[in-house]
Amino acid sequence: MPFLKDAVTLVKEPQQLPSIPLSWFPSSVFAAFNVTLLLFLSGLFFGFPCRWLVQNGEWAFPAITGPLFILTFFSLVSLNFSDPGILHRGSTKEDPMTVHVVRVNQRAFRLEWCPKCLFHRPPRTYHCPWCNICVEDFDHHCKWVNNCIGHRNFRLFMLLVLSLCLYSGALLVTCLTFLIRTRHLPFSLDKGMAILVAVPAAGFLIPLFLLLLIQALSVSRAESSYESKCRYHPEYNPFDQGFAKNWYLAMFAPLGPNYMSEVVCLQRPVGTAWIQEKTKPSPPRRPKHCRPGPPGPQHQPRRVPGKGPPGSGEAAALQEMRRLPASVEKSPGGPRQPTAEPAAGDP
């Protein structure tokens, strides 16, 4: 029999999930810089030109720009941390050669296989190369907030663009009003700060207005920015349901379930205490007028002599024993105990 020196067992290696790239740091720094820039310019505006206008009785300007700043800052920060509609990753056991076909308004869509997320993605779902995730109803990746724009945060994105347009216009108008009313005064720090705020406000206003117009046209045609860029619907768009219905579905319709939150809840570890609590039998119901007593050992009720249950013969035997004399006659063998005849109810 030959001696085997090297015996190697051939085992099929499991397919590993793709690693997440580490290119998120520069994008995160850029998004944080945008938030800081908004706070910096707003601080200069409210600290110099707006303060001068308030001191001279012009309360209308801060009454308009103040709520717009709060709305803009809230939408910007919320969009940074919002869920665009992420679809969780699939399993390595999925077969990429399986063909899935769905129909939308008499048009067939073959579900494409995502080699990074390992599942067949639904229609209008695309893989973002910057975030390395598949997003439902993917519109585009916004580098200003370092987040994808998709099904669940598109409304927040539209609110941000609209609030930025209004806020930039309000800053520009207020700074120009301040410069006009102080033209007879010598150059001061307030004028310098007003110019420093008005120049970026005017520079951002025109691109933001064009972006808002493009997004409004995309909503009207029920076509995302990614689809219009890639010519995804050359013949006709099966998702177009009319102007009013498209705006309702994009801005006011229910969003549906949050897939990531449901997956996170399902993946939470379940402890033994939680299992015992869920599997513990429920206590018997008590009447409403009864209140549960304090926890502790349950004592059996003390039986009072002469008050036994009817038919047991205990009460009749004790009454017969009380009729006998208290003294007991002594005998050579010891004291003689009184005897009682059994009652009718005893066995």
Q: Which residues belong to the active site?
A: 142
Name 157's Cβ contacts closer than 8 Å, sequence gap at least 6. Answer: 79, 139, 142, 149, 215
Which tokens hold the place of 98?
A: 């399986």
Q: Angle 60-80/24-47 helices, nearest 10 degrees? A: 170
Residue 336 CA to its chain's centroid (Å): 86
Tokens 């969009």 label which residue? 79
Tokens 């691109």 label which residue? 207
User: How many other CB atoms sit within 10 Å of the CB of residue 320?
Assistant: 15
Q: What is the DSSP letter of 280?
A: S
Which tokens hold the place of 94?
A: 């999925």
Which tokens hold the place of 123?
A: 């229609």
137: nearest Cα among 128, 245, 236: 128
| Alpha helix stretches (DSSP H) within the chain | 24-47, 49-55, 60-80, 154-181, 189-221, 225-230, 243-251, 259-266, 272-279, 314-323
Q: How far, in Å, CA of 237 to CA of 221, rounded?
A: 8
Q: Which residues pair with 121 in a beta bridge?
A: 112
132: nearest Cα among 266, 18, 211: 18
181: nearest Cα among 283, 266, 57: 57
Residue 4 CA to its chain's centroid (Å): 59
